[in-house]
Chain A
């Protein structure tokens, strides 16, 4: 069966510090991968998605970036965090343009 992992589960970072969030999927190959951000009590904002290694589509211009160095690995990064980057970051995978399976998420607080 397929599983999706995200770490860390929670993170507290100072403004201006770098960020690296990792997402890995097991039990499938060539999945579509997605990064979302959810502000407290709000909806899901699509940040990036990838349909293959090295292929990244950005949805929202901001100080975040994403990379897919391996088929089942998706990384979200920032060189300098802003207060507005706080939120719940969710990674998801999909076998097709179809239902998406979400990871447990990372709660990021920028102070």
Chain B
């Protein structure tokens, strides 16, 4: 079936350290999206990547889409306490639905 693997499952970092989460698919993707879920909240859309090798930045967040459109990463520079939450990638295989990764739960040690 169409699955997307996301690692790591958990990440604990000191405030100010960097953080990266990765998603991989065995199948070429139409696009990949990233969402953030704050504690007790619902997932919120962050960004969508469509083109091979695409790199997008949002302040301290950098999103990459692999050349083969099978993998993606989210990198946060100099984490802050407001970055805590679960980060999900969501893969679109070319139909009406998204396949979400298992998520990476980020906790920040002040």
Which A residues contact B (CB, under 8 angstroms)?
32, 34, 36, 41-44, 46, 49, 51, 57, 59, 90, 94, 97-105
Q: Across the two chains, which residue of chain A brings its CB closest to B100?
A: A44
B99 touches A103 (CB 8 A): no
Q: Using a Cβ cutoff of 8 Å, how many contacts connect chains A and B? A: 49
B92 is an interface residue with CB less than 8 A from chain A: yes
Instruction: Identify which of B43-51, B52-60, B67-75 touches chain A.
Output: B43-51
Chain A residues with CB under 8 Å of B90's CB are 100
Which B residues contact A (CB, under 8 angstroms)?
30, 33, 42-45, 48, 88, 90, 92, 95-103, 105
Given A97-B96, A100-B98: A44 and B43 within 8 A (CB)? yes
A100 vs B93: C-alpha distance in the bound complex, in angstroms? 15
A59 vs B1: C-alpha distance in the bound complex, in angstroms? 12
A43 vs B30: C-alpha distance in the bound complex, in angstroms? 21
Partner of B42, one of A32, A34, A43, A90: A90
Q: Nearest Cβ in chain A — how far from B52, in angstroms?
A: 19
Given A44-B88, A46-B98, A46-B99: A99 and B33 within 8 A (CB)? yes
Q: What are 5 residue pairs bridging A and B, where the CB atoms are less than 8 Å apart in the complex?
A: A43-B100, A44-B100, A59-B97, A97-B95, A99-B33
B88 touches A34 (CB 8 A): no
A97 vs B93: C-alpha distance in the bound complex, in angstroms? 10
Chain B residues with CB under 8 Å of A34's CB are 97
Known: A43-B101, A59-B97. 11 other contacts (CB 8 A): A42-B102, A44-B103, A46-B99, A46-B100, A49-B97, A57-B96, A90-B42, A90-B43, A97-B30, A99-B48, A105-B42
A90 vs B90: C-alpha distance in the bound complex, in angstroms? 15
Q: Across the two chains, which residue of chain B brings its CB closest to A105?
A: B42
B42 touches A102 (CB 8 A): yes
Q: Nearest Cβ in chain B — how far from A42, in angstroms?
A: 7
A32 touches B96 (CB 8 A): yes
**Pairs of residues from A and B, 6 with the lowest C-beta to C-beta distance, nearest first:** A43-B102, A102-B42, A44-B100, A99-B45, A97-B96, A43-B103
